[in-house]
Amino acid sequence: GSTIGIIGGGQLARMLALAAARLGFKTVVLEPQQDCPASQVTNTHIQAAYDDADGLARLAEMSDVVTYEFENIDVAAVEALAKNIAVYPAARALRISQDRLVEKEFLQQSGLKTAPYRDIENADALETALLEFGGRGILKTRRFGYDGKGQIRFSGEKNDLSAAQAIEDFKGAPAILEGFVDFTCEISVIASRGRDGSVMCFEPAENIHKNGILFSSTVPASVSQATKNEAIGEATRLINALDYVGTLGLEFFVMADGSLIANEFAPRVHNSGHWTEAACSVSQFEQHIRCCIGWPLTKQHRHSDCVMENLLGNDIEKLITLANESNVVLHNYGKVEAREGRKMGHFTRLLTHK
């Protein structure tokens, strides 16, 4: 048997560990927090910081291959680890996705269209860029942003923050300004690439965000077949350009004419792919485990249309009500504290059986 090491012990690690267990593999999780979601389902929990040298050495010793569940881990630590053990995806994808400026440049180099963007170093640069973009845009920290955190929106109206105030609020964090994209909807593609270079994509999900946080993912997406094919083609181009091994999520804005603008990618399993555990023969989590282990990636059969919804904070209490419904697949991450806005669980409602 093989043992898979996972850096990070949140819900994504938990679901990866469950998928690994089903295939008969063991997991070791490196995570400083004691009661983390993965701790309940992994074989071994190494309680140490993600960049702790001893913790990483133990992880490498116990594992046959190492992966990670989130993108904000130290690239140098991953590179050092990769000298002793196979790490998938390789540090390069991590480095690119950690910095929105580098990421946007890479997406464009790979032939994907992005929103217009400018590197913002000070209030003057922000003012100039806002004028260029017609007053509308989103200032985003280059690093460490998620769930819409580290973003300031400019609508071109009077109640916008001044450029000087926005820069002050960012407290010196490197930032970019993105032009505001008037999209008709958002979709994402979950793509996997095996160690042999074979690529498998799930069909796009249509995503609704509330307050910058993913609220729901619906499959099929309400876009044309041409747009779906284009999204899958672009995800395939990106994953090949990254020479990636594992599963990633690529987010798009869909324009009125059906054309696509790439927003960002995450070098890991993705919240907008949670529906795959309920509506497909093989989930994004199993697909990622298969990639890490060097197993085949097969074409996945989706047996149902579906809607996945996140349960944030106290919404997790709805789980017991949902348990009364048929055709609803439940998932509770087992988090100890239901803080407001925190992702506590999700459910997928199966709409039709094909």
Tokens encoding 126: 């922000």
In the chain, the amino acid numbered 232 is I
Radius of gyration of the chain (CA): 20
Cβ–Cβ under 8 Å, residues 329 and 348: yes
Residue 74 interacts with which of Mg ion, ligand ATP, none, CB < 5 to 8 Å by class: none
CA gap 19, 35 in Å, rounded = 20
Q: Does 179 appear as a known binding residue?
A: yes
CA distance 82 to 286: 22
- Closer by beta carbon to ligand ATP, 290 or else 335: 335
- Give, as ranges, the residues between 247 and 266 that touch ligand ATP (CB under 6 A): 251, 263-264
Is residue 146 marked as binding? Answer: yes
Q: Is 186 annotated as a binding residue?
A: yes
Q: Which of 146, 210, 215, 325 binds ligand ATP (CB under 6 A)?
A: 146
Q: Which two structure tokens, joined as six digits, stand for 84? A: 């002793």
Of 194 and 267, nearer to Mg ion (C-beta) is 267
263 is in an annotated binding site: yes
Residue 250: φ, ψ to 5°: -120, 125
Site mask, ligand ATP, residues 106-135, x = CB under 6 A? ---------x--------------------
HEC-encoded secondary structure of 269-323: CCHHHCCHHHHECCCHHHHHHHHHHCCCCCCCCECEEEEEEEEEHHHHHHHHHHC
147 binds, among ligand ATP, Mg ion, none (CB under 5 to 8 A by kind): ligand ATP
Q: Examine residue 144 and tell whether it contacts ligand ATP (CB under 6 A).
A: no
203 binds, among Mg ion, ligand ATP, none (CB under 5 to 8 A by kind): none
User: Of residues 228-267, which lie at the interface with Mg ion (CB under 5 A)?
Assistant: 251, 264
Q: Is 277 in the site for ligand ATP (CB under 6 A)?
A: no
Among 99, 147, 160, 315, binds ligand ATP (CB under 6 A): 147
- Binding partner selected for residue 286 from ligand ATP, Mg ion, none, CB under the kind-specific 5 to 8 Å limit: none
CA torsion sign, 181 to 236 to 241 to 20? positive
Nearer to ligand ATP, 57 or 125 (CB): 125
Considering the complex, what minimum distance in angstroms separates the CB of residue 158 from Mg ion? 28
Q: Does 186 sit near ligand ATP (CB under 6 A)?
A: yes
Q: What is the C-alpha separation between 239 and 211, in angstroms, rounded?
A: 29
| Residue 264 is assigned to a ligand binding site | yes
Of 69 and 251, which has the nearer Cβ to Mg ion? 251
Contact status: 160 vs ligand ATP (CB under 6 A): no
Among ligand ATP, Mg ion, none, residue 116 binds (CB under 5-8 Å by kind):
none
Structure tokens that stand for 205 in this block: 């999900």
CA gap 349, 151 in Å, rounded: 31
Q: Which stretch binds ligand ATP (CB under 6 A): 58-66, 88-96, 144-152, 193-201?
A: 144-152
Question: DSSP assignment of 139-198, as one string?
Answer: EEESSS--TTTTEEEEESSTTSPPHHHHHHHTTT--EEEEEPP--SEEEEEEEEE-TTS-
> Per DSSP, what are the bridge partners of residue 26?
3
Residues 6+ apart with CB under 8 A from 232: 189, 191, 201, 203, 204
Sole residue written with tokens 């071994």 = 44
Instruction: Say whether 145 counts as a known binding-site residue.
Output: yes
Binding residues (CB under 5 A) for Mg ion: these are 251, 264
Binding residues (CB under 6 A) for ligand ATP: these are 115, 138, 145-149, 178, 180-181, 186, 209, 212, 251, 263-264
- Please state the residue numbers annotated as binding site: 100, 140, 145-151, 178-181, 186, 209, 263-264
- Please state the residue numbers annotated as binding site for ATP: 100, 140, 145-151, 178-181, 186, 209, 263-264
